A and B are shown apart, each in its own frame.
Chain A
Amino acid sequence: MPLALIILLPLTGACLPALMRGRSSRLLASVSALPAIFTLLLLLSWLPHVMGGGEAEVQRLSWLPSLGLDVAFRLDGLGLLFALLITGIGCLILLYARYYFEGKDTSARFFTLVLLFMAAMLGIVLSENLLFLLVFWELTSLVSFLLIGYHTHDHAARLGARMSLVITGGGGLALLGGVVLLGQAAGSYELSTVLAAGDRIRTHEHYGLMLNLILLGAFTKSAQFPFHLWLPHAMTAPTPVSAYLHSATMVKAGLFLVARLHPALGDTSLWFHLVTLTGMMTLMLGAFVAMFMHDMKGLLAYSTVSHLGLVMLLLGLGTPMAVAAALFHLLCHALFKAPLFMMAGYVDRATGTRDMRKINGMWRFMPALMGLSAISAAAMAGLPLMSGYLSKKMLFGESLQVTAPDWAVVVIPLWVTLAGLFSVAYSIRIFHNVFFNGRPIDLPIWPPASPRAAALSPIALLAFATLLVGLAPEAFYAGLIHPAFAAARQAMVTPFDFTTLGGRVPMLMSLFALAGGALFYHWRDPLFRLHARLPEVDAKEIFDWLMRSAIALSQRRVFQLENGSLQRYLTFIMATVVVLVGLELGDVTRWHGGAALAPIDPLTLLAAVLLCLAAIGVVAFHHYRLPALLLLGVTGLFVTVTFARFSAPDLALTQLMVEVMAVVIMMLALSFLPQTSPRGSTGFRMGRDLAIAVLMGVGVAAFSFAILTRPHRTISDFFLANSVPGGGGTNVVNVILVDFRGFDTLGEITVLGIAALAVFAFTRDLHLKERVVETNPMHWVAEPHPIMLSTVARLVLPIALLVSAYIFLRGHNLPGGGFIAGLITAVALTLQYMAGGLVWAQSRMLTAFRPLIGAGVLIATATGLGSWLFGFPFLTSAHGHLHLPLVGEFELATAMLFDLGVYATVVGSTLLILANLGKLMTVAGPGKEIG
């Protein structure tokens, strides 16, 4: 039977209540119980195997073998004990919630989250891989966050939820670090390997760090001092949540982890000190504070903290039977604490308050609840014959077994006895204060109604189990605890001998605690008064202060760096580039790569100088925008010349056309923007930017020179060799574009089309009337459409179109092709716009630019798809020779069809951009959209 099913059942089952929002809690609870009960049955079916001392069952599914990450589950005694607790108590909680939420509007969220939590918790205890364990660990933190903040409208609930998330989430991060270290030390994240590698891990150089980090995770989760803080504040959750997550299960995840990793990490001096001391502090603090809590759930929360400390203490102790005692107490605690929480929930609902100074004398109203709670409270106090009595005596017995260090031999037995005394006192208190102690005072709800008999069933079942454990501890030990003990030690262990509990000293300690606790409670009034006079140390204040400072600090840092100025960010980015690249370039020792330098001819030198001067001119005149723009055009022309000079006719043609279009577009924009840029930059800023810019230029020049003078290796030989036989064209650049790298080109024309459409969308509702107020309006042209220009333009158009057709057709063999022909067409049509005006041009032109773009991309794609029809890969081209009368023989390639798509897209995009920008400038305003 796959173990994954145990986790998957509640995980998928969690969807059921989510789909049934708004239904009655009865229906929801019944539906949610189904997966939970199935899971429980599955687990019980494993019980014989585990009780019989069977091997740990490990099941794995290969997932990412390269990372050593398998989906792996492990079921052994320890896992089974916890899994049974999780599902068993989970089922009872569902039953309890059915009554608790009765008559409340929405509880579907609760049931979903509880099932989710159950799955996550089962994931922790059944994971074989530590990384998986971590994922489930975080999942429990998240679900716990959602459940604590269940009453989303309640401020205190939100704060409590946040606090628990910060503390347990922070612990989870520490745990992540620890687990990674552990996995590296052990060589694997699989528990089977890790648990067997204890000796290697304990002598590893990072053992201390690893242990600290892992324990930090466990301590935060299990609410150990000083991280216990979140648990009392989590009591804002609905009571079923408190009973389930914050007493019986989730807070035990930390204990589980410590017990689980005990063979790998445990039994060193560091382990003893960290775990035992933390446990001792938590035990005492929780027990002491619990005594003085007036809030029922607060008292139970602190008592939970104290019991968690007790188990932690035992796990650290290192005596032979301490782990068995710890596991036994863990079981007992879950069995008696959950019903006490349930009791508190019912009393809270019936009376409307949780303040024990008001709730008194409930035995009159809820006799049955009183009887059942008596059993649980007695077990918590450790009265004879109860389960808690046995576990407490086991604790006392183990505390006497400690032999080293010296202080511990004396201190620990005294310490646990004193804590035992407190626990007796608070156990008496919650029972006596709630059910006796006179009459109720000022209850918000009067008279309190007793919960229905059926509603008491989960409490009764748990109380019954508590009694059973107390009466037949050997059977429970043999069935559940011993296999878990053996699994936690990863060794053959002798069973715990319950006859040793009869020893004199543990008996005396136990009697002393009982009598002392009773007396303590008897004299509670003066003690309460004394306690009220103690200075109030509220750990929450410290936590809040820490949070506030952390937030304020990070805010200050963020604002220092991020003040909303894009100009500033860009400066930072550029400066970073200069620094980082500069550091790398600093290592270059030989700038000249060795290749022979080509000689400089005067004409090229002149062009280069002019190009540089034009670029510098743009900078120098950038406050006067029109001259700057013209100089920019000059720069572009010299770039064109550069391409032509160095054997790139296709690039030169493209650059030329683009330059014309770009300048026209910027000119259009400029007619609308201010004509000058104000001089506002401080001298410092200009100097700094100049320094960045010059450094950047020097860097670019230096490494360009280094590259240019190094030997040239290229993959282009393939293209040159295959251009004619494979692509059917002699212009290799064009063949690469439409054939070899046709898929890239398809992507590029799509981008082009998208950019054009974005321009269209932006200009559609741009209203120029709200333009920047021009302080010094400038009249651009006296004659908007000079007659000379419009006459010539009309003549030029057919010639230009003919040229563009020629360039297109010859593109496969000589410089040209779809891009260039498209740009030529666009420029020719642009000229018509400029010469005749928008209205004139539009009335004489097809303006379906957007369909044209779409058609272009579709043609190109269809050409590619066409090759599928013939069983070739996408965009395979075919070519052949055609003989037409008159024209003669010429070569026709499917690539030409592809190029047609490119052509259409380029024409459509360019004109769409231009026409829509031009439209903005018309006197009539935006008008209707073009394209």
Chain B
Amino acid sequence: MELLYAIMLGVLTSCGVYLLLRARTFTVILGLTLLSHAVNLYLFASGRLVAGAPAIVGLSERSADPLPQALVLTAIVIGFAMTAFVVVLALKAAVELRNDHVDGENPDEDRA
């Protein structure tokens, strides 16, 4: 299970990073979202993978680690707010620069 989880994180990270390196703002936002999924899952997993034992007192014998869960919960909500903010930034850039390239000028795609 741990191996599967790790591979899943790897795939999410790879996809996120690849999209992050693309040239269009919308794609970058997609990548950012995938990457934040990976980060949240990773943080969450630092409490190890426990099945069927939510961190509720008296529900079961053992209990999953509640601390990473609390951290990730706020991370998800703030991550959402940040995504919204980046979306608006992208819109604003697209309006003012009249293109949606991350570098702000319409290029022949790459400039590196």
- Residue numbers of A with Cβ under 8 A of B are 563-568, 570-571, 574, 595, 597-600, 604-605, 608, 611-612, 615-616, 618-619, 622, 625, 628-629, 632, 635-636, 639, 642-643, 645-651, 654-655, 658, 661-662, 665-666, 669-670, 672-674, 677-678, 680-682, 685, 689-690, 692-694, 696-698, 700-702, 704-705, 707-709, 712, 714-716, 719-720, 723-724, 730-733, 736-737, 741, 744-745, 748, 751-752, 755-756, 758-759, 762-763, 766-768, 770-773, 813-815, 819, 823, 906, 909-910, 913, 917, 920
Q: Is the CB of A748 within 8 A of B74?
A: yes
| A to B CB contacts below 8 Å, 5 in the list | A563-B112, A599-B1, A612-B11, A647-B64, A756-B84
A651 contacts B111, CB within 8 Å? no
Provide the residues of chain B in CB contact with A611, threshold 8 Å. Answer: 8, 11-12
Contacts of B41 in A (CB 8 A): 639, 642
| B47, closest chain A residue (CB) | A714
Interface SS, A side = helix
Are B103 and A736 neighbours in the complex by a CB distance under 8 Å?
A: no
Among B25, B54, B84, contact of A755 (Cβ-Cβ < 8 Å): B84
Looking across the interface, which residue of chain B has its beta carbon closest to that of A643?
B44
Q: Which residues of the other chain, B, contact A615 by a CB distance below 8 angstroms?
A: 11-12, 15-16, 34
Chain B 11-27, CB-CB to A under 8 Å as 1, else 0, gives 11111111111111111
A689 in contact with B21 (CB, 8 Å): yes
Task: List the 4 shortest-distance A-B pairs measured between CB atoms, nearest first.
Answer: A680-B109, A701-B10, A697-B14, A693-B18
For window 40-54 of B, CB contacts with A under 8 Å fall at 40-42, 44-54
Q: How many residues of B contact A (CB 8 A)?
A: 92
| A654-B76, A708-B2, A913-B81 given; A701·B51 CB < 8 A | no
Bitwise, B76-112 to A at CB < 8 A (1) or not (0) is 1111111111011111101110111011000111111
Kindly list chain B residues whose C-beta atoms are within 8 Å of the C-beta of A649: 54
Nearest neighbor of B24 in chain A, beta-carbon distance: A677
A608 touches B6 (CB 8 A): no
The answer on a CB contact under 8 Å between B92 and A766 is yes
Inter-subunit contact B11/A568 (CB<8 Å): no
Q: How far is the CA of A635 from the CA of B112 in the complex (A)?
A: 31
Q: CB < 8 Å: which of B34, B48, B66, B98 contacts A732?
A: B66
Establish whether residues A618 and B30, one from each chain, have CB atoms under 8 Å apart when the complex forms.
Answer: yes
> Smallest Cβ distance from A902 to chain B, in angstroms?
9
Contacts of A917 in B (CB 8 A): 84, 87-88, 91
Are A647 and B51 in contact, with the CB atoms below 8 A? yes
Question: Is A658 touching B15 in the complex (CB atoms < 8 A)?
Answer: no
Cβ of B69 and Cβ of A566 under 8 Å apart? no
The answer to whether A714 and B110 have CB atoms under 8 Å apart is no
Question: Would you call B1 and A598 a contact (CB within 8 A)?
Answer: yes
Apart from A647-B51, A689-B17, A767-B95, 12 more pairs, CB < 8 Å: A563-B112, A598-B1, A612-B11, A615-B15, A647-B63, A666-B83, A677-B24, A724-B57, A733-B66, A762-B89, A768-B95, A770-B96
Question: Which residues of chain A come closer than 8 Å to B89, judged between CB atoms?
Answer: 762
A650 CA to B71 CA in the complex, in Å? 11
Which residues of B are found within 8 Å of A651, using beta-carbon distances? 44, 69, 72-73, 76
Q: Measured between alpha carbons, how far is A565 from B22 in the docked complex, in Å?
A: 12
CB distance from B78 to the nearest CB of A (A): 6
Contact (Cβ within 8 A) B73 A733: yes
Which residue on chain B has the smallest CB distance to residue A748?
A: B74
Residues of chain B within 8 A (CB-CB) of A752 are 77-78, 81
Q: Assuming the A-B contacts A673-B91, A732-B63, are A748 and B78 also in contact, with contact meaning beta carbons closer than 8 angstroms in the complex?
A: yes
A733-B98 Cα distance, complex, nearest whole Å: 46
**A contact residues around B81 at 8 Å (CB):** 751-752, 755-756, 909, 913
Closest chain A residue to B97 by CB distance?
A772
Do B95 and A770 touch across chains, with their CB atoms under 8 A apart?
yes
Whether the pair A669, B87 counts as a contact (CB closer than 8 A) is yes
Contact of B84 among A608, A665, A678 (CB under 8 A): A665
Q: A712 — which chain B residues lie within 8 A by C-beta?
A: 47-48, 65
Partner of A616, one of B15, B27, B37, B59: B15
Q: Using Cβ atoms and an 8 Å threshold, which residues of chain B touch A766? A: 88, 91-92, 95
User: In the complex, what distance in Å separates the CA atom of A709 from the CA atom of B66?
Assistant: 19
Report the minimal beta-carbon distance from B56 to chain A, rounded to whole angstroms.
5
Point out the residue from B23, B40, B42 that lies within 8 Å of A700, measured CB to CB.
Answer: B42
**A579 shortest CB reach to chain B, Å:** 14
Q: How far is the CB of A663 from chain B (nearest CB, A)?
A: 9
Do A622 and B22 touch (CB < 8 A)? yes
Is the Cβ of B103 less than 8 Å from the Cβ of A669?
A: no
Query: Are A574 and B20 in contact, CB atoms less than 8 angstroms apart?
Result: yes
Residues of A contacting B67 with CB < 8 Å? 714-716, 719, 736
**Contact of A704 with B10 at beta-carbon distance under 8 Å, contacts A565-B103, A567-B103 already known:** yes
Contacts of B84 in A (CB 8 A): 662, 665, 755-756, 759, 913, 917
> Which residues of B have CB within 8 Å of A681?
22-23, 109-110
A697: which of B10, B64, B82, B90 is its contact (CB, 8 Å)?
B10
Residue of A nearest to B54 (CB): A647
A696, B14: Cβ atoms closer than 8 Å: yes
B5 x A708 contact (CB < 8 A)? yes
- Separation of A681 and B110 alpha carbons in the complex (Å): 6
Q: A574-B17, A639-B37 are in contact. Are A730 and B26 (CB under 8 A)?
A: no
Contact status A744-B74, CB under 8 Å: yes
CA distance A655 to B55 in the complex (A): 17
User: Whole-angstrom distance from the CB of B3 to the nearest CB of chain A?
Assistant: 6
In the assembled complex, the CB of B1 is this many whole angstroms from the nearest CB of chain A, namely 4
* Contact B19–A622 (Cβ < 8 Å): yes
